[in-house]
Every structure is written in structure tokens, then in C-alpha cells.
Amino acid sequence: MEQDTTAVSCDFDPMSISADQATQKILEAISPISVVETVSIRAALGRVLAEDLCSAVNVPNHTNSAMDGYAIRGDELPTIEEKTFRVMGTSFAGKPFDGVVGDEECVRIMTGAVMPRGTDSVVIQERVKREADRITVNPGERKGDNVRYAGEDLKQGDVAIPSGIRLGASHLGLAASLGFAELPVIRRPRVAFFSNGDELKPIGTSLEVGELYDSNRYTLYSMLTDLGVEMIDLGVVKDDEKAITQAFINAASCADMVITSAGASVGDADYVKQTLDKLGEINFWKVAIKPGRPLSFGRVRNSLFFGLPGNPVSVMVTFQLFVKPALKQLAGEKYSVPLRLNVKTLSRLKKRPGRAEYQRGILLLGENGETVVRSTGEQGSGILSSMSLANCYIILPTESGGAEIGEWVQVQPFDHVC
């Protein structure tokens, strides 16, 4: 009788939930921070806008020229033969022409200058011939060209920037153009984090057999900095029940979210799970992904809790997939589904069915100019170089058994530097 090898070749764990289920559970459990702060416009960079920002004026606030040229009555533009106009003066930005333009007259006008009374069109300077105080315009010009109308961008009362937007350079420029010196923003989330394990040692010290440098706190610090949160770094906590309990109590007393690295797996003989059972509640313990299956989420007293795996790559993957959207929602930022693309792979990708894999890849332009992806190489959860080389995840679904060169795969580009 032929042996059934399904159980051997499959990576399925019935106690795990899918990545989509985990994301849904996380987002359903999080209410955005409601505390609003008013900060100067420069201090608002990277903060989440708390209220709709409405324009108090029309933008632009006057009808003006979009180009350097000559302001003319559109009805007088030639249709068959060239036509001559007399130049009455010049309209500068900030110093408009004071007068009314009549028949067969025009005004030299600069970009941004107010359109003179009686004009509704601009012929750009490169398309006219000027001699003394007269210009010649050829047929082909259209009425209304090269004019920006008052309120064309924003009308008075329009929402210029909706709430829930993380403010970037373009948003601050827009707010400044509307005259806002201060902006209402959501209070930054406070995040406390620590690593757990007797084997972890600080960088700069020598290692004994079996010891490791604590790299995870530095990757967490970097990723949290990218999100603009307030951080409380509690360092490395030893495998001691009292120390771990006190660390959780301290973290929950001052933070909106507590993040641990290592020691939170349901199968581990450690004190983290015991402490969580006493001080909080766990929503789930495992997610059917690789790397990062031992991911836990719940609460410690009044704080949100994430227990990340111990392996360095697993920490980064689970943070980016689950902690990052959680922190964005906590900060009041509107959730957006990550961008994903279908491209061909230049590498053979190995995988066992049973859980989704987020392999590290490099998106690049192929020989034919099409976007393709190749693997960064070995995909072990302890190989941090695979993440430092990557600019995307190659997402292989649960049922997938891998992919051959030239097959289509789904990728998720990074929106940050790893």
C-alpha cells in the first residue's frame, strides 16, 4: 500500500489563523486615540490630522495667468488670418494692471498675475511676434487657454485635507498656502517594548557560547521611529517571573501598546505567557504565515499587546504586516490595503503547502522593460541579510507549493527602507 505523505509535506497547523483573519481581529480591537493636540505647521510633519482642514478662501483667490504671455479677449482671437493687438501695459504677480482692456488691445502678463478686466485668454509669449507696442497673433489660439480660474483648485469651504491623513510635505505646503500656522493632530501613540531572554546580550560586549546580541530592539526602534510614535525602551528583561511581571506592569502603566520580542510562544516554557494570563488577555497566539507563526495579540491591562517572534526576520515581517497597520489605526490614520502587484519571477521559489509565505524579493526592470522579481536568496527567519537586500515581499499563498522561473507571483513592495 502506498504511503500517504501529505502530512509530511504539508506545513499546516490547525491552531493557526490566516493573515487576513489576524488583521481583521487586530483592527476590530483598536479604537483610535481621541486626544487632539494643536501644533505648529512645521511640527505637524508626519502627524495624523485630527479634523478636516477646510479652505477659508478660493484657491487660487483670483483668476490669473498660467503662463507668461499676453492677456486678450478670447472673442477677438484670429481664426483665418493673423491679427495685430496694441499692448496697453503689463500685469505682474502682486502688481496687477489697473485698467480695462478694449477692442484689439492686450496686456503683457506674467505667470500668476491677475487677469486684467476685459480679458479671458492668454497667448503665450513664444507664439506671438512683438514690435514696439504691438503684437501679431496667428490663427489657432483658443479662447480661455492658459488661464487659472478663481476657486479652480479649491472653493471657499471645500475640504482641503481630510482628517485621518498622515501629513507630508505636500500637505504642509497646501496648509501654508491656505494661511494655517497651526494644525490639529492626534496625540502620538506611546509604545513600550522590550526583549526577553537570558541569552540576549547588549551590543559592544563579548559573547559566550549560546549567547546572542539583541538586534531586535534596534529594528523595532527603527520601525517605530518611521511611524513617529513615542517610545519607551525597557531593554532586555531576563527570564525571571518577577522581572517579567514588573516589566509588563511598568509598560502598561505608561503606554498605549506593549511589544515584546521572543518568549511569547504558546509552546514555550517561559514566564511571558503566565504573566499575560494574570495581567491581560490574548486574542490569538498563532498566524499561519512563514516567517512569523508564533505571533500573539491581545491586551495587558488597558494597553494593546503584541508578542513578536524571536527570530530577526520574523520580527520585521510581523511588525510590518500586523503591528504597523495597528499603530496607524491607533494614531487615527485611515487604513489602506497595501499595494500588491503580479509579476514574473526570475527565481525558483521553494515552499510547502500549509501556510502563506512572505519571501524576501527584489523588484527590478527585466530585459524587456517589464517589472520582474527575484529572490534575495536563502529565506531562513534568522537571515537578516535577506531583509536588508529586499525591497518587496513575494507572497506565496497557503496552498502554493512554490513557483518556477517565469511564473506569475504576487509581490508587496516595501513602503520604507529595511
Predicted confidence band of residue 9 (pLDDT cuts 50, 70, 90): low
What would the pLDDT profile of 82-122 be if each residue is shown by its tens digit? Answer: 999 999 999 999 999 999 999 999 999 999 999 999 999 99
CATH 3.90.105.10 fits domain 36-59+152-186 = yes
CATH topology of domain 341-413: Beta-clip (2.40.340)
* pLDDT over 90 percentage in the chain: 74
pLDDT of residue 204: 76
Grade residue 362 by pLDDT with cuts at 50, 70 and 90.
very high
Which residues lie below 8 Å from residue 146, measured CB to CB, with a gap of 6+?
65, 66, 67, 69, 121, 122, 123, 124
**Minimal CA–CA distance to 364: which of 413, 297, 403?**
413
Three-state DSSP state, 26: helix
pLDDT at residue 309 greater than cutoff 60: yes
CATH placement of domain 64-148? 2.170.190.11
pLDDT at residue 10, rounded to an integer: 67
* pLDDT for 263: 57
pLDDT tens digit sequence for 370-392: 999 999 988 877 677 788 899 99
Per-residue pLDDT at 416: 64
**Which amino acid, residue 200?**
L
Average of per-residue pLDDT across 329-349: 94
Phi, psi of 190, rounded to the nearest 5 degrees? -105, 125
Q: What is the pLDDT, as a whole number, of residue 5?
A: 40
The per-residue pLDDT for 271 is: 73
Rounded distance, CA 233 to CA 194, Å?
6
Grid coordinates in use for 382?
534568522
Q: What average pLDDT does range 386-414 have in this prediction?
A: 94
Could you give phi then psi for residue 221, rounded to 5 degrees?
A: -55, -45
Q: pLDDT band for position 417 (50/70/90)?
A: very low
Question: Which of 58, 70, 38 is closest to 149 using CA atoms?
Answer: 58
Which residues, 6+ apart, have CB-to-CB distance to 370 below 8 Å? 343, 344
Residues 6+ away with beta carbon under 8 Å from 280: 248, 252, 298, 299, 300, 301, 305
Phi, psi of 231 (to 5 degrees): -115, 145
What's the burial of 32, exposed, middle or buried (CB within 10 Å: 0-12/13-18/19+)? middle
Q: Can you give the pLDDT at residue 187?
A: 98
Of the candidates 352, 253, 230, the one whose C-alpha atom is nearest the C-alpha of residue 303 is 253
229 versus 13: which is more confidently predicted? 229
- Answer yes or no: are the C-beta atoms of 229 and 327 closer than 8 Å: yes
φ/ψ of residue 334, rounded to 5: -70, 135
Bridge partner residues of 134 (DSSP): 86, 131
* Sequence spans of domains, the chain: 10-35+188-330, 36-59+152-186, 64-148, 341-413
Residue 6 has a pLDDT of 43
Task: Decide if pLDDT at 4 tops 60.
Answer: no
**Residues with Cβ within 8 Å of residue 8, at least 6 apart in sequence:** none
The pLDDT of residue 270: 60
Residue 128 above 90 pLDDT? Answer: yes
CATH T-level assignment (fold) for domain 10-35+188-330: Molybdenum Cofactor Biosythetic Enzyme; Chain A (3.40.980)
Helix, strand, or coil (residue 349): strand
Residue 229 above 90 pLDDT?
yes
Mean pLDDT of 391-417: 92
Distance, in Å, from the CA atom of 351 to the CA atom of 402, rounded to the nearest integer, reads 5
User: Can you tell me the distance from the alpha carbon of 252 to that of 274, in angstroms, rounded to the nearest whole number?
Assistant: 16
Question: What contacts 70, CB < 8 A, 6 or more positions away?
Answer: 85, 87, 106, 107, 108, 109, 122, 123, 125, 128, 135, 137
Is the per-residue pLDDT at 328 higher than 50? yes
pTM above 0.75, yes or no: yes
Mean pLDDT over residues 161-167, rounded? 96
| Cβ proximity of 130 and 142 under 8 Å | no
Task: Tell me which of 200-204, 321-325, 361-365 is least confident.
Answer: 200-204
Mean pLDDT along residues 318-341? 94
N residues, the chain: 418
184-193, 204-213, 265-274, 405-414: segment of lowest average pLDDT: 265-274
Q: Is the pLDDT of residue 397 over 50?
A: yes
List pLDDT tens digits, range 34-44.
999 999 999 99
- DSSP strand E in 366-418: where? 371-375, 392-396, 402-403, 408-413
Please state, in angstroms and as integers, the Cα–Cα distance from residue 363 to each residue in 291, 345, 415, 416, following that order: 20, 9, 13, 14
